[in-house]
Amino acid sequence: MHIHILGICGTFMGGIAVLAKAAGHHVTGCDANVYPPMSTQLQAQGITLIEGFDPAQTALKPDIYVIGNVVTRGNPLMEAILNQGLHYISGPQWLSEHVLQGKWVLAVAGTHGKTTTASMLAWVLEYAGLAPGFLIGGVPENFGISARLPQRPRQDPHTQSPFFVIEADEYDTAFFDKRSKFVHYRPRTAVLNNLEFDHADIFDDLAAIEKQFHHLVRTVPQQGLVVANQQDSLDRVLAKGCWSALERIDSPSGWQVGQVDAQGRFEVMLQGARQGVVSWDLLGAHNRTNALAVIAAARHVGVAPCIAIEALAEFKNVKRRMEIKGVVNGVTVYDDFAHHPTAIATTVAGLRAKVGQARILAVLEPRSNTMKLGLMKDALPDSLRDADAVFCYAHQLGWDAAAALAPIVHKANTYDSLPALVNAVVAMAAPGDHVLVMSNGGFGGVHQQLCQALQANAG
C-alpha cells in the first residue's frame, strides 16, 4: 500500500511513517518545513519527503492519505484531496486499525511526563525480554528511535510480541475529528500521570479535558488496568466511572515512594510492603512518581516489580529532557522540553536539587499554543522561583512578558532578539553556572549559539 502522510515531520506523524515503512508499506510524505532531525531520520528509512503542500502531490496517486493534526481547512493539498473525493484518514485512526489492532496496548496519558514515562515503560518491557513495539513523542536513549513495531520476545522467538507502548496525547485527532488522539488507542493498560489545564487552543477549560480523559477510561476493558496518580482532577475523571481494576500512585492503599537518599535512590512500596530500591540518575519527585506508574503498569503484563526496578537502574533519559548540550569553560548548558508552568517549576526544582547552591540561569521560550495565548502567564514567576536569573524570549508573543514577570523583575529580563538574549546570558555566565534552556520547539538553535558564544568568550 502506498501511504502519503501530510504533516510527516511532526514527532507523532514521523513515528507513524517509520511504523508504516517497517510494516512493508511504500511511504511518502510532505510538510511545511522539512528539516533535521526528523527529515534525516525519515530519509534514512527510505521515505521520500516533499517540502510544502502543493496540490500537484495528488499525482502521486497513493492508496490513502494520512492526515496530521497540523493540517487545516484551506491547506491547498487537503482542499484538492477533498475536492477530488480521495481516500483519507487521521494518523491515530490509521495507527489503531493497522498497528494496534489485536495488540495489548499500554497507553501513557497526562499533561506532563508522558514521553519520559512511556520511554521508561517501553524500556522495562524490553529489559524483561518482552520486545514491545512503541510510539513515543521523543527519542528514548535506550532505543535511539522514537517508534518501532513489536519484535520477537526472548521467551518465544517464533512469534511477534503482543505488547505496544504508546504516548497517549489528549490533543485533538485532526481537523475532521476533534476527539483526543488517545480515544483511538483502546488500551488494556492505561497510565494517567496527571491532569492540568493545557492546550487552550482547543479546550475551553479543565472540565473539557477531564471529559476526554473519561472517554479514555471508558475504553479500558474490564480485565484491564488503570494506573492513576492521586490528584483532584483525576479523581473527578474516575468518579464519572471506572470499569477496570484501579491502582493508585502516592496512596497508602497502592504504590508509594519510601525512603529517598541523598543520591536520589528511593524505595518502592506497595501497600506498605517494600518492593526494592531504584538506583538511577534521574532528578526530581516527578520522575519517582513516573517510575511507580511504570512498575505498576509493567506488573500488569507480568513483569515482577524486582525486574522493573532492575531495568530502571539502566534507564537513560529521553533526548531534550535535561539533556546536557555542552560544558564550556565550566558552564553547563542543558536542553529541556518544559513549557507549561508546572513542568518549568518541576524541571528547575529538579536541577536545583542536583546542583545545590550553584547558580541556575533559566532561558525560556513561551512557545506552546497555551503559552502564546497568555493564559498561564501569571503562573510563570512562581514556576521560576528556584532560578537565580531568568532570560525570556518574548519574540511575537501576544502578551507583555515583562509585565508578567514583574514579580521577579529583580532577576528576570525579556528579549525580542535572540542574539541579544544569547549575549546577555554569556555576559552573566561564570564557571560553575548551569544554563537551563526550556522550550517545546527548536528555539532558533539557541543551545548551539550559547555554547559557541561561551567558547568564544572563554578564548
Please report, for the domain that includes residue 7, its CATH number.
3.40.50.720
What number is the average pLDDT over the span 301-318? Answer: 91
Residues 228-272: pLDDT tens digits?
998 888 999 999 999 999 999 988 889 999 998 877 889 999 999
| 173 and 300, same domain (yes or no) | yes
**Among 125-139, 186-200, 250-264, 312-326, the range of highest mean pLDDT:** 125-139
**Do 234 and 119 share a structural domain?**
yes
Contact 90, 193 (CB under 8 A): no
Mean of the pLDDT values across residues 49-54?
Answer: 94
pLDDT at 121: 97
The per-residue pLDDT for 213 is 93
- Tell me: do 345 and 196 sit in the same domain: no
Whether residues 80 and 204 fall in one domain: no
For residues 252 and 366, membership in a common domain is answered with: no
Alpha carbon distance 185, 350 (integer Å): 32
* Together in a domain, 236 and 339: no
Q: Which three cell numbers stand for residue 432?
A: 560553575
pLDDT at 319 over 70: no
Q: What is the pLDDT of residues 407-423, one digit of tens each?
A: 888 898 888 888 999 89
Percentage of residues in the chain having pLDDT higher than 70: 96
Q: List, for residues 62-112, the tens digit of each pLDDT value.
A: 999 999 999 999 999 999 999 999 999 999 999 999 999 999 999 999 888
CA dihedral 286, 291, 292, 294 (to 10 degrees): 130
At residue 36, the pLDDT reads 65
Q: 217 lies in a domain?
A: yes
Closest CA to 200 of 432, 442, 398: 398
* Residue 97 located in a structural domain: no
Residue 372: the pLDDT is 65
**Residue appearing with cell numbers 497507553:** 107
The span from the CA of 205 to the CA of 34, in Å, is 34
User: Cα separation of 206 and 430, whole Å?
Assistant: 42
Rounded CA gap, 103 and 108, in Å? Answer: 15
Could you tell me the three cell numbers for 181? 488522539
Percent of the chain past pLDDT 90, that is, above it, reads: 56
- SS3 readout for the chain: CEEEEECCCCHHHHHHHHHHHHCCCEEEEEECCCCCCHHHHHHHCCCEEEECCCHHHHHHCCCEEEECCCCCCCCHHHHHHHHCCCCEEEHHHHHHHHHHCCCEEEEEECCCCHHHHHHHHHHHHHHCCCCCEEECCCCECCCCCCEECCCCCCCCCCCCCCEEEEECCCCEEECCEEEEHHHHCCCCEEEECCCCCCCCCCCCCHHHHHHHHHHHHHCCCCCCEEEEECCHHHHHHHHCCCCCEEEEECCCCCEEEEEECCCCCEEEEECCEEEEEECCCCCCHHHHHHHHHHHHHHHHCCCCHHHHHHHHCCCCCECCCCEEEEEECCEEEEEECCCCHHHHHHHHHHHHHHHCCCCEEEEECCCCHHHHCCCCHHHHHHHCCCCCEEEEECCCCCCCHHHHCHHHCCCEEEECCHHHHHHHHHHHCCCCCEEEEECCCCHHHHHHHHHHHHHHHHC
Query: Does a structural domain hold residue 318?
Result: no
Distance, CA of 227 to CA of 296 (rounded, Å):
7
Backbone Cα Rg of the chain: 22
The total number of structural domains in the chain stands at 3
> How many CB atoms within 10 Å of residue 443?
19
Condensed to tens digits (0 to 9), the pLDDT of residues 181-192 reads 999 999 999 999
What's the rounded mean pLDDT across residues 376-405? 85
User: Does residue 118 share a domain with residue 185?
Assistant: yes
Query: So what's the pLDDT on residue 186?
Result: 96
28 and 114 share one domain: no
Is 317 inside any structural domain?
no
Do 434 and 339 share a domain, yes or no?
Answer: yes
Axis-axis angle for helices 114-127, 285-300 (nearest 10): 50
What nine digits make up the cell of 49?
519527503
Domain encompassing residue 130: 102-312
Which residue would you say has higher pLDDT here, 317 or 363?
A: 363
Q: Whole-angstrom Cα distance, residue 273 to residue 305?
A: 12
| Together in a domain, 342 and 428 | yes
Q: Does residue 270 form part of some domain?
A: yes
Instruction: Indicate if 228 and 376 belong to the same structural domain.
Output: no
Place of cell 495565548: 373
In sequence order, what are the beta bridge partners of 66?
Answer: 5, 89
For residue 64, give the nearest of 1, 113, 18 by alpha carbon. 1
pLDDT at residue 179, as a whole number: 92
pLDDT given at position 377: 81
Query: Which grid cell is 314?
Result: 539502566
Q: Which of 312, 341, 357 corresponds to the end of one domain?
A: 312
**Residue 55 above 90 pLDDT?**
yes
How much is the pLDDT for 281?
79
Do both 182 and 296 map to the same domain? Answer: yes
Q: How far is CA 376 from the centre of its chain?
A: 19
Burial of 302 (0-12, 13-18, 19+ CB in 10 A): exposed
Look at residue 194 and tell me if it is in a domain. Answer: yes
Confidence of residue 37 (pLDDT cuts 50, 70, 90): low
Domain boundary among 90, 119, 149: 90
Confidence of residue 162 (pLDDT cuts 50, 70, 90): very high
Virtual CA dihedral for 325, 327, 333, 336, nearest 10 degrees?
40
Average pLDDT over residues 376-383: 84
Q: Could you say which of 65, 90, 115 is where a domain stops? A: 90
Task: Give me the pLDDT at residue 109, please.
Answer: 94
Task: Please report whether residue 192 resides in a domain.
Answer: yes
Checking if the pLDDT of 459 tops 70, the result is: no
CATH number at residue 147: 3.40.1190.10
Cβ–Cβ < 8 Å for 103, 224 = no
Q: Name the grid cell of 279.
A: 538506583
Say if 10 falls within a structural domain.
yes
Q: Are 91 and 14 in contact (CB under 8 A)?
A: no
pLDDT on residue 99: 96
